Amino acid sequence: MIEANAPVTMSDVARVAGVSTATVSRVVNGHYGVSARTIARVRTAIEQLGYESSLVASSLRRSRTNVLGLVAHSFQSFTAEVLKGVMKALSRSGFDLIIYANSDLYGSYSEGWEQRHLTRLSGTLTDGCIVVTPWGEVRSRTPVVAIDPVRGSTAPSVTADNLVGATTAVEHLLGLGHRRIGFIAGRDSLASAWSREEGYRAALAEAGVPVDPTLIGRGDFNPESATPLARALLRRADPPSAIFAASDGMALKVLEVARELGLSVPGDLSVVGFDNIPESASTEPGLTTVDQSMYQLGYEAARMLKSLVTGEWDEPNQLVLPTSLVVRSSTAAPKSAARQ
């Protein structure tokens, strides 16, 4: 056995090649001022020892690392889909990606996680970060792009056209004949939650249907938060004939509750979600939802961040992407439609 598994460092290479670590560094980074013969010697030593530079050590001293970061507090379908888009945008770009996710020691929805992670990374490791569904405005030495930012943020962000998406979804229900339409809202610090509720109200107003505040449940985008809300809505003496949930994760929970209460969907209850996560297509019945191409969100965010880091961004830095309604089988005309 040549070597066990001791970590081979730059000074090991230097010793073997008979040069200083400074010279090794120059060779590794292709800097000027090393003779061809020395380069060859160093290269040989590197090869022989199987040396790889430590990302950590070099990022400590360097300003540019060519690593972009993504921080997220959970890994549900939303983030996973976003991630695919980010990876696509970064493919062959020269930037590597580091995703930092915490283990939720402080509780699943501890405020400020994104700031904590961001400062821990952006001090040195990354050239810039993407933050998914943050809790608040963040400050950072390096550029930050938010996916689904907080309300009123003016920082760079990428978001879906939540207002139009939600309006379309509710219009779809109205068009089917529904009049009592429940709504399960998202975490209200997020602009998306706000806009989706606005869309809900706007569509109702447009149709001349008064908003009944007792039909609105205050969720937080966490699927579990929807369960008690759905139960409360559906156990009423006068339950809504349709529920629009601000996210698919929550909408799927509504389906669960409906099943639990013996309600048939879409017979007794129509359900519409928002996001179009993969699970929504495979559930039974298929969930009618608003597609916001999370893949695209990730793709555009990564593209924006890349340009911000290299300093070549000129487009507006608040991107809004279109949505589209995907009609599946969780919606139908209400039983009492004829009555209206």
Region of 24-32, 147-155, 252-260, 332-340 interacting with DNA (CB under 7 A): 24-32
Task: Please give the Cα distance from 80 to 132 (Å, whole number).
Answer: 11
Residue 15 touching DNA (CB under 7 A): no
d(CA 188, CA 273): 17
The DSSP line for 177-233 is T--SEEEEE--TTBHHHHHHHHHHHHHHHHTTPPP-GGGEEE--S-HHHHHHHHHHH
When binding is defined by CB under 7 A, the residue of 4, 5, 63, 208 that contacts DNA is 63
Stretches 32-40, 85-93, 186-194, 288-296: which one binds DNA (CB under 7 A)?
A: 32-40
When asked if residue 1 is in the footprint of a copy of itself (CB under 8 A), the reply is: no
Q: How far is the CB of 313 from a copy of itself (least distance, A)?
A: 18
Question: How far is it, in rounded angstroms, from Cα 121 to Cα 126?
Answer: 6
Query: Which partner, a copy of itself, DNA, none, binds residue 340 by CB below 5 to 8 Å per kind?
Result: none
**C-alpha–C-alpha distance, residues 29 and 236, integer Å:** 68
List Cα–Cα distances, 175 to 71, 161, 168, 179, 305, in angstroms. 40, 21, 10, 9, 40
Stretch that binds a copy of itself, among 1-9, 28-36, 167-175, 230-238 (CB under 8 A): 1-9
> Is there binding between residue 25 and DNA (CB under 7 A)?
yes
Strands of 63-172, DSSP E: 67-72, 96-101, 128-132, 144-147, 157-160
37 binds, among a copy of itself, DNA, none (CB under 5 to 8 A by kind): DNA
Of positions 81, 197, 248, 275, contacts a copy of itself by CB under 8 A: 81
Stretches 51-59, 97-105, 162-170, 307-315: which one binds DNA (CB under 7 A)? 51-59
Contact criterion met (CB below 8 Å) for 93 and 299 = no
Among 243, 233, 232, residue whose Cα is nearest residue 170: 243
Span of 52-60, 84-92, 151-159, 320-328 interacting with DNA by CB under 7 A: 52-60
Interface with DNA: number of residues (CB under 7 A): 34
> Does residue 265 contact residue 271 with C-beta atoms inside 8 Å?
yes
Q: Is the peptide bond prior to 240 cis by the omega test (within 30 degrees of 0)?
A: no
Query: Count residues contacting a copy of itself (CB under 8 A)?
Result: 54
Name the segment binding a copy of itself (CB under 8 A); options: 47-55, 145-153, 167-175, 237-245. Answer: 47-55
Interaction between residue 147 and a copy of itself (CB under 8 A): no
Q: Going by C-beta distance under 8 Å and a sequence separation of 6 or more, which residues neighbour residue 36?
A: none
Given 2, 4, 5, 35, the residue binding DNA (CB under 7 A): 35
31 binds DNA (CB under 7 A): yes
Query: Which member of 44, 47, 75, 335 binds a copy of itself (CB under 8 A)?
Result: 75
40 near DNA, rule: CB under 7 A: no
Cis peptide before 266 (omega within 30 of 0): yes
Among 20, 48, 84, 136, interactor with a copy of itself by CB under 8 A: 84
* Contact residue for DNA among 2, 50, 61, 312 (CB under 7 A): 61
**CB neighbour burial string for 62-91, b if at least 16 within 10 angstroms, e if fewer:** eeebebbbbbbbbebbbbebbbebbbebbe
Q: CA–CA separation, 82 vs 239, rounded Å?
A: 35
Using CB under 7 A, list all residues that contact DNA: 7, 9-11, 18-26, 28-29, 31-38, 51, 53-54, 57-58, 60-63, 123-124
